[in-house]
Each structure stands twice: as C-alpha cells, then as structure tokens.
Amino acid sequence: MLKKKYLFIILMVFCQFSFCQDYTKAIEQARFLINAHQNQTRIPGVQVAVSIGDSIIWSEGFGYSDLDTKAPVNSQTKFRIASVSKPSTSMALVRLVQEHKIDLDKQISHYLKDIPEVWREITPRQLASSTSGIRHYNSEDPEYNQVNYPDVTSALERFRNNPLLFEPGTAYQYSSYGWVLLSAVMEKASGQSFFEIMENTWSDLGMLDTTFDYPYQNSDNASKFYIYDKKEGRIEAPQENRSFMYAGGGYLSTTEDLVKAGRAILDKGYIDKEYIDELLSPQQLKTVPKPIIA
C-alpha cells in the first residue's frame, strides 16, 4: 500500500486535472510517484484505480503478485484490504437498517441472547463507531492466528471474557473486535449467515472480485502476502487464519471493486440518501458526570 503522503500527492495531481477530459499527464505524474515509492520501499506489487463520475479513468497494476513466479499485478489481482473491510461491512449494515431489520440504537441483547452481561446495553451504533468499550487486538492475541472459527459467533470467544475498556458510548477506542460482535448482530437480525449477507452485498454492488480471506484456500487471482524482514527484505508472510476478524479486516478485494463501493455512496443509488447521511454522520459521546469531591 502507498504511504499516506504519496497517496495525498497523487490525489492532488488528479484534482489539478479534474476539470478536463484528458488525464494523461495526471496519470503519468501519479505513475512516476508510485514507481519511485515502490523502488524506495521494495513493495512487491501495487494496484491503483481512479474513478471520475461514472467512469474508471485509470486502472493499473505495478510489480508482482508473486515474487517467485514473477506473476504481474493486474486489475483482477486480489489483495488483503485490512481495515478497509469495515466500510464494506458498513454498506451491508446500512442496508439492513434501511430494511428495518436493525435499529442502530437498540441494545444488542435484543438480537443476541447468549452474551456477557457487560455487553447487553451496547448498541450497533457504538460497535460501528468504536465507542462500545470492546477491546482491539492486543498482546493477549497470537501474532498469527491458527484457530479456525467456522462462524462469526464462535469468533466471539476471542474476547468475550475480557472486561470493557469503558462504559459504552462514553469514549472512543478503535476496535476491530467490535466489528466482529457487530457481524454476529447482523447475522441474527437478518436471519442470514454473515457470509451470505456480505456475498449478496458484493454481488449487488458489482464487486465480483471481492471475497472473504478464507483460511487455507487459494482464491483466484489472489496475491501472495509479504512482510518486511530487516535481514532478508521482503519475505512471504506466515500462514494465518483470519476467521477471527472477518467483518473488521478479513476481506480480499481489488481497487476497482473498492471504487465501485465508493461510487455507490456518492451516487446515492444503492442506499437511500437519509441512510447515507446516517452512515456519514459524526457520533456524539455521552457526557459522563464528574465525581463529587467533598
């Protein structure tokens, strides 16, 4: 992935040319920056897609998806999208809200019965906004998970015995596990498995190259995954089972598919405007009474 400063420069390049029809110069400049960044950091492969209006005006792959075979990155190469998975999950969530299957402000105990007492008053809105008090990954978790969780409910075992970090709604703490709990709520509220919910969402959006990062399965056109080692440089990442984190960081996708998701929000076609406004609204924390000092 590009560092933020390079991504910002590329976006600025395209902003300069956004009012003309020929984007050749902007693409050339952005391509130069990507190549320079890739050479500097030795990133094996990069994928880019840019959309203006209803059209993808640039889609290109750089480098390799497999360093051993020298397979080139192309527009169909699937990468792990990490926490960009959360906005994808939120598209499905808001559709369930629009269909009146989930109330964002109803306690999750309305949907899930067998949960710890401290979770009962948490709401879906708090889970989606990381204000629930559910912890994020920490040193209690293995660096590379090898446990297979067959469904999202079983993945709750990873953190169900941990105390909340704070009273729900009173503070912010980024939490991918909050999204795992939210996926279980979505499953119960809809009467569908979370896998069906997301696969239907991707199909409806035309995101045909997006899928779950299923453990020990070779997805078509998936890139190999690499990490950086100080001694050896880029090496293949250890095998990991990502069934513990699907809703918050466990999808494979392409830049073209992610552009389609972004256009669905901007075009206001997939989700009604009032629910898009709900999706993009900032959240207000509860006011916590200050203790009385005698």
The per-residue pLDDT for 65 is 96
Nearest to 205 by CA among 160, 271, 252: 271
Strands (E), 172-285: 211-212, 226-229, 233-236, 251-253
Q: Kindly state the DSSP code that residue 152 receives in the 8-state scheme.
A: T
d(CA 134, CA 115): 13
Cβ atoms 78, 219 nearer than 8 A: yes
Dig out the tokens for 114 from the structure.
């067998």
Residue 22 has pLDDT above 60, yes or no: yes
Confidence of residue 293 (pLDDT cuts 50, 70, 90): low
- Read off the tokens for 153: 């409910």
State the average pLDDT over residues 197-201.
98
Q: Report, as an integer, the average pLDDT of 268-285.
A: 87
Tens digits of residue pLDDT in 214-261 = 987 778 899 999 999 988 889 999 999 999 999 999 999 999 999 999
Mean per-residue pLDDT, 136-150: 95
Q: What is the mean pLDDT of residues 96-118?
A: 97
> Is this structure's pTM higher than 0.75?
yes
Q: Is the pLDDT of residue 176 over 80?
A: yes
Confidence of residue 7 (pLDDT cuts 50, 70, 90): low
Q: State yes or no: pLDDT of 195 exceeds 50.
A: yes
Structural Rg of the chain based on CA atoms: 21
pLDDT tens readout for residues 40-62: 989 999 999 999 988 899 999 99
Given a contact cutoff of 8 angstroms between Cβ atoms, the answer to whether 188 and 195 are in contact is: no
pLDDT at 199 over 60: yes
The more confidently predicted of residues 164 and 293 is: 164
Q: What is the pLDDT of residue 86?
A: 97
pLDDT band per the 50, 70, 90 thresholds, residue 15? low
User: Do residues 63 and 2 touch, judged by C-beta distance below 8 A?
Assistant: no
Calculate mean pLDDT across residues 254-269: 89
Is residue 94 within 8 Å of 279, Cβ to Cβ? yes
Burial code (b: 16+ CB inside 10 Å, e: under 16) for 19-48 equals eeeebeebbebbeebbeebbeeeebbbbbb
Q: What's the confidence (pLDDT) of residue 278?
A: 85
- Residue 110: the pLDDT is 97
User: For the chain, first and last CA: distance in Å?
Assistant: 54
Residue 75 three-state SS = coil
Residue 13 scores a pLDDT above 70: no
CA 60 → CA 72, 166, 250, 254, distances in Å? 11, 45, 24, 11
User: pLDDT digit string (tens) for 67-81?
Assistant: 999 999 999 999 999
Which 8-state DSSP code applies to residue 108? G
- Look up the CATH superfamily of 76-284: DD-peptidase/beta-lactamase superfamily (3.40.710.10)
Q: E strands of the chain, at which residues? A: 45-52, 55-66, 71-72, 79-80, 211-212, 226-229, 233-236, 251-253
pLDDT of 6 strictly over 70:
no
pLDDT at 10 over 80: no
Q: Tell me the average pLDDT of the chain.
A: 90
Q: How far apart are CA 130 and CA 175, in angstroms?
A: 6
**Domain spans of the chain?**
1-72, 76-284
User: Band of the pLDDT at 3, cuts 50, 70, 90?
Assistant: very low
Please give the DSSP secondary-structure letter assigned to residue 144.
S
Instruction: Output phi, psi for 67, to 5 deg.
Output: -70, -25
Lowest-pLDDT range of 14-18, 115-119, 187-191 = 14-18
Count CB-CB contacts under 10 A for residue 190: 19
Question: Which pLDDT value is given to residue 2?
Answer: 44
Angstrom distance (rounded) from CA 250 to CA 149: 13
